[in-house]
Structure 1
Amino acid sequence: MSWLVKSRIGNKLLRLKPSASFDLSSALIENLSTSSERLPETLDESSQSEDIWNVIVGKAGDRVSEDEVFHRLSNDESCNSVNLSDGLVHKLLHRFRDDWKSALCVLKWAESCKGHKHSSDSYDMAVDILGKAKKWDRMKEFVERMKRDKLVTLNTIAKIMRRFAGAGEWEEAVNIFDKLGEFGLEKNTESMNLLLDTLCKEKRVEQAREVLLELKSHITPNAHTFNIFIHGWCKANRVEEALWTIQEMKGHGFRPCVISYTTIIRCYCQQSDFIKVYEILSEMEANESPPNSITYTTIMSSLNAQKEFEESLRVATRMKRSGCEPDTLFYNCLIHTLARAGRLEEAERVFRVEMPELGVSINTSTYNSMIAMYCHHDEEEKAVELVKEMESSKLCDPDVHTYHPLLRSCFKRGDVVEVGRFLKEMVTKHHLSLDESTYTFLIQRFCRANICEWAYCLFEEMISQDITPRHRTCLLLLEEVKKKNMHESAERIEHIMKTVKLTAPVK
């Protein structure tokens, strides 16, 4: 079987000849390039959205001006016949979230349609798109226009500040806060917390601290203010400052809540300092801020990462004895822990008996944990039955992680034909888009199976989806295609490595 795969170099065709033992339809790669995540749409809105999308994208290029795109929309019969709604405009803005020029044209065209008036959500989304593209002058012009029409809300300000802070322009974020009065908004605890949260999430905790010291004389902080700093200090891996903030919080008359303590516990877990973890846990259990399911699950997940499965199960027992109500996230973690500890029957009982009896919902991650367990213990038939159960139950849908263990099992026993079947099922039946980890896994395994032609096809698809390959993946594939004398493919891989400036991982 031969397969023509279009190369991105000079539009040439490379004739690849996969091993005869590998029977995967060429429709697979076509589907890989066309499947994509989309927002839920009604059938009518989906068709209309596609018409407008085609008008803008069909002939547009990087050099097309905003006026040309607007003219194309205004003079297209299919666009003029759409039933325009806020929902449709929002969907179009979402599709053009990485193309600020087309997004603004959509807004301008929608404004020209008789009787349509934009919602505040549409305006806010446009501001966010411009901020993401770092089109600061255009964003400021747009905000001034919103200001004249009295459309600026605190949500608008939040998007502006977060885009500035995310781009390292934290002083601009503070300046926007200083101008709140010009937009008819108040400088109060809510807006102050918004600024502090923005700075802390961008690891500007010290600057946020300076802002608080300046403002707290005339704006009163609340419990949420201190939780913002606890999270910020922990994100910066400065847990001692987070503990000091707990004491400061108490000094202002606020009682630390489960969120405050769990944030600190998560930080200690990341440091693998479980002595401190248990100290904080005991303090929570003794005080009036008892740990919740998220607290215990956080500790269990961290212990699992250290392969301390028996200790993780002791934490689960401790939680049940405390009377804490378990949730889906806890049970997903418990099933994973039991599976890794080799306790298959207990995991099955939790899945089939305990969760249904307590009315705890089962989701995709629950199924994925069970599927991974069966595959790990070479019980693939049971894993496949669970995938069928998911499909028939309609409670949840498979995702790419559902298939990872199944694909791994196929490669383990050398059944690449079954790999093709599962891939086709993922793409054509469930319309799943492969992510970076899935592409990387497949490329590596196909190389090891001496089917680097198919590995290279997936590499091309990965690039076409704007997913950057890992340095190690490129080196492995490059070595394999050179062995097969696939010279053009080797040149292509080397070109990609130089273009995206891939560097070797730091050891």
Structure 2
Amino acid sequence: MQNTLTSIKLHHSTINHIFLFHIPSCYCLRSPTTDNAINSARCYTSRFNSTDVDERNPKTKEEEETHKTELHLSKRLDTLIDTSITRATAALHKPGEKGTSFRVSCNDASTSLSNAEKVYKIVMKYYNKTDMLEMALDRCGFSLTPGLVVQVLKQCGSAANPAYNFFIWAGKQDHYMHTHESYNVIINVLCRMNQFERVWAILDEMRTRDPSLITPHTFIIMVRRFAAAKMVRKAIDVLDEMPKFGVEADAHLFGCLLDALCKHNKVREALALFSDMKFRFEPNVKNYTILLNGLCKEGMLEEARFLMGEMLGVGFDPDIAAYNTLLHGYARAGRIQEAFDFLDEMKNKGCVPNIISYTSLVHALCEAERLDEARRLFQDMRKYGCFPDVVSYTALISGLCKWGKLDEAYKVLDEMVQQGCAPNQMTYSVLLRQHEKREELQEALELVEEMLESGCDPDLGIYNTLLRLSCNLGQLNEAVEIWHKMEREGISADLHTYTVFIHGLLKHNNLTDACTYYKEMVGKGLVPAPQYGTLKVLLNELLRAGKLDMAAEIWECMKKGGSHINIFAYTIWIQALCQIGEVKEAAAYCADMIDDGLLPQSSTYQMIKKGLKKLHNRIIGDQIRGRLRKMIDERNLIFKSYEKEGVRKEGARKSRKGRRKRNLK
């Protein structure tokens, strides 16, 4: 039975072997200690797996513009909340407290940035060729210091696999030992890509080598990353895992957990946790302010006012951060008059508004297209002793750009420079996105040149915008040049960069390069779970073009490259094969799916069943049916109900398809 299904895919085996050199081999690079640690870490990853990651398709340009503008303004508002957190975090480990047992001094300020850039380029060049990577690094001749290692790891950005390979190589070198800082940086990189199994293994290694290397800040990183991945339960469970590593959760870490949940739209969970943990962690002003911020971001302003009342009731006086949080909440919700009323309330209670207060109102007026009022308030701020800063200017420029007043926005930029306020990357990004809307590539490139002349280096967001604009206009040669320039500047492409570029290549039918960059993205560990939008588009385009072998390579690359293949990824691949008539192939992958312990969707099974029936192939159909029945029985489900559900969904799908055809007529 197994042999029949396996033989179906044999005609691809030769191709897979030919392209084997494309598959990243970096996953086998581990230190002996980490090898042992990974085995013991599996008890943690059984609970801390990444199956509940929230995948999202790439945002539209309009959604991204709104999101980035709001994010930047909110980030400034959050500064007062985060300041105390940052200071407390820094106090957890003062320089020099640890590291006395290391063979290399932690004082490596003399480490040259150029050396870090050279090492980074080597790491990115050979990221999927382990032997060549180690050989090139061994021959580079640099004196390895903790500072150099940290710089290289940070430069890797979200490229988890290259960073991990370099980290392991560095740990094997004589006269060098990792510091708590290098451990924390690699943990941050791995968590960002949801490689939590490796993280728990590294924690085990740290505990074995020197438990004092593990600090509360290490777990703060994990808490924030779990929250970012929408793994709320796992973020909370970190509190219970900490004692196993000799670290006790404190009020500061609890505040960081609340902050992480609120920042990632999990304010209800944060409120429930705050209520449950009141007796374990004594509430403070920061906790209340964090929760206020979370409620306001969700538009729950009445709940926020109630919470502020509760805060006063237990004896805590709101500070300027708390007041600004609620003020910004009203402004963000478009309740401008209430925002101005609250500003007066602040003054009456003796809380003097600051630049953040007025910036929130300027931004709200701009969003409501009340530009004259926004300009007037912008000028009046000075009367109240609040002089515009880069965030205030950027808020006004953003508002002008939103409503198509690009010339006026440039006038504000000139005024900003004349007043001695240097524009930052966000300021230029706002203007750049307006050129993107107008499809003005040349003007966008000139703006970036002006940006460089002013001493402001483009960041990844700027390059992403240029890439997206170039691809949308079909200027693929320009896009490639922008990509190479970004790499020369030492900026590492992230998941969004690859997604933008791959979609641009597919839009203009450049399938070969799209596959190359997708494999590179997987090889760098930038796909914590398949990005289903990109994967689906790529596979469908390949199969539509009759490139079945290339599509199979993409699938095998993902499986061997460490991507988390779950039921949705299998469904995309199997249904795509069925739609082009490759039913036997689809049946073979369905068998793989069952072997991986995943139950196919009932509609997927019906597609395969129907296709095999047309081919009069009952043998394979019976095999799939037998395997499914066994899995369903083991899960105490009813097979007939499973089959009927699939028939119902197939009927609904046909009905929708019929309606679409009638509408077209």
Please state which band the TM-score falls in when normalised by the shorter chain.
Answer: 0.5 to 0.7
Distance 1:177 1:236 in 2: 30
Q: Which residue of 2 aligns with 1:88?
A: 148
Structure 2 letter corresponding to 1:320: Q
For 1:315, what is the secondary structure of its paired residue? Answer: helix
Structure 1 letter corresponding to 2:168: C
CA offsets, 1:102-128, max 9 Å, x none? 467336414xx13x3432212334555
Q: Which residue of 2 aligns with 1:390?
A: 451
Residue 366 (structure 1) aligned with residue 427 (structure 2): yes
Residue 322 (structure 1) aligned with residue 384 (structure 2): no
Distance 1:97 1:233 in 2: 33
Deviation at 1:99, TM superposition (A): 7.2
Deviation at 1:315, TM superposition (A): 3.2
Distance 2:274 2:137 in 1: 56
From 273, 276, 279, the equivalent of 1:214 is 279
From 236, 239, 264, the equivalent of 2:326 is 264
CA offsets, 1:190-240, max 9 Å, x none? 355345445555633134313442135xx4x43212212223444565443
CA contact 2:358–2:381 (8 Å) conserved in 1: no
RMSD: 4.9
From 413, 417, 422, the equivalent of 1:356 is 417
Query: May I ask how many residue pairs the two structures share in their alignment?
Result: 428
Structure 1 letter corresponding to 2:450: E
Deviation at 1:288, TM superposition (A): 3.6
Deviation at 1:86, TM superposition (A): 0.2
Deviation at 1:435, TM superposition (A): 1.9
* Structure 1 segment 431-470 matched on structure 2, within 5 A: 431=487, 433=493, 435=497, 438-439=500-501, 442=504, 447=507, 452-454=508-510, 456-457=511-512, 459-461=514-516, 463-464=518-519, 465-466=521-522
CA contact 1:234–1:264 (8 Å) conserved in 2: yes
Distance 1:340 1:383 in 2: 16
Distance 2:304 2:388 in 1: 27
Q: Which residue of 1 aligns with 2:114?
A: 43
Deviation at 1:295, TM superposition (A): 4.3
CA contact 1:130–1:139 (8 Å) conserved in 2: no
Residue 124 (structure 1) aligned with residue 184 (structure 2): yes
Distance 1:249 1:490 in 2: 63
Structure 1 letter corresponding to 2:288: F
Unpaired runs of at least 5, structure 2: 1-14, 20-110, 556-567, 576-665
Distance 2:444 2:200 in 1: 55
CA contact 2:536–2:572 (8 Å) conserved in 1: no
Distance 1:56 1:479 in 2: 28
Residue 138 (structure 1) aligned with residue 208 (structure 2): no
Q: TM-score, normalised by structure 2?
A: 0.52
Residue 174 (structure 1) aligned with residue 239 (structure 2): yes
Q: TM-score, normalised by structure 1?
A: 0.65
Structure 2 letter corresponding to 1:209: F
CA shift in 2, pair 1:234/1:436, >3 Å:
farther
CA contact 2:320–2:351 (8 Å) conserved in 1: yes
Distance 2:338 2:363 in 1: 16
Structure 1 letter corresponding to 2:270: V
CA contact 1:400–1:438 (8 Å) conserved in 2: no
Moved more, 133-142 or 238-247: 133-142
Distance 2:142 2:262 in 1: 44
From 466, 473, 481, the equivalent of 1:403 is 466
For 1:169, what is the secondary structure of its paired residue? Answer: helix
Deviation at 1:319, TM superposition (A): 3.9
Distance 2:257 2:322 in 1: 19
CA shift in 2, pair 1:154/1:313, >3 Å:
farther
* Structure 1 segment 162-311 matched on structure 2, within 5 A: 162=224, 167=231, 168-176=233-241, 182-183=246-247, 189-198=251-260, 200=262, 203=266, 204-215=269-280, 219=282, 221-234=283-296, 238-268=300-330, 271-274=333-336, 276-284=338-346, 286-298=348-360, 301=363, 308-309=368-369, 311=370
CA shift in 2, pair 1:214/1:199, >3 Å:
farther
CA contact 1:462–1:469 (8 Å) conserved in 2: no
CA offsets, 1:364-397, max 9 Å, x none? 4433444555676798776554344334444333
Deviation at 1:284, TM superposition (A): 3.6
**Identity across the alignment (%):** 20
Structure 2 letter corresponding to 1:321: D
CA contact 1:296–1:316 (8 Å) conserved in 2: no
Residue 105 (structure 1) aligned with residue 175 (structure 2): no
CA shift in 2, pair 1:246/1:59, >3 Å:
same
For 1:487, what is the secondary structure of its paired residue? Answer: coil
Q: Per chain length, whose mean CA-contact separation is higher, i.e. which structure has more relative contact order (CA < 8 Å, sep 6+)?
A: 2
Q: Which residue of 2 aligns with 1:29?
A: none
For 1:83, what is the secondary structure of its paired residue? Answer: coil
Distance 1:375 1:390 in 2: 16
Structure 1 letter corresponding to 2:144: L
Q: Which residue of 1 aligns with 2:216?
A: 154
Deviation at 1:85, TM superposition (A): 0.3
CA shift in 2, pair 1:282/1:395, >3 Å:
same
CA contact 2:439–2:469 (8 Å) conserved in 1: no
Deviation at 1:355, TM superposition (A): 0.6
Structure 2 letter corresponding to 1:422: E
CA shift in 2, pair 1:481/1:393, >3 Å:
farther
Distance 1:488 1:317 in 2: 60
CA shift in 2, pair 1:262/1:469, >3 Å:
same
CA shift in 2, pair 1:258/1:437, >3 Å:
farther
Deviation at 1:331, TM superposition (A): 1.8
Q: Which residue of 1 aligns with 2:625?
A: none
Deviation at 1:458, TM superposition (A): 5.5
Deviation at 1:361, TM superposition (A): 0.8
Distance 1:294 1:440 in 2: 39
Residue 487 (structure 1) aligned with residue 550 (structure 2): no
Structure 1 letter corresponding to 2:146: D
Structure 2 letter corresponding to 1:453: N
Distance 1:91 1:371 in 2: 29
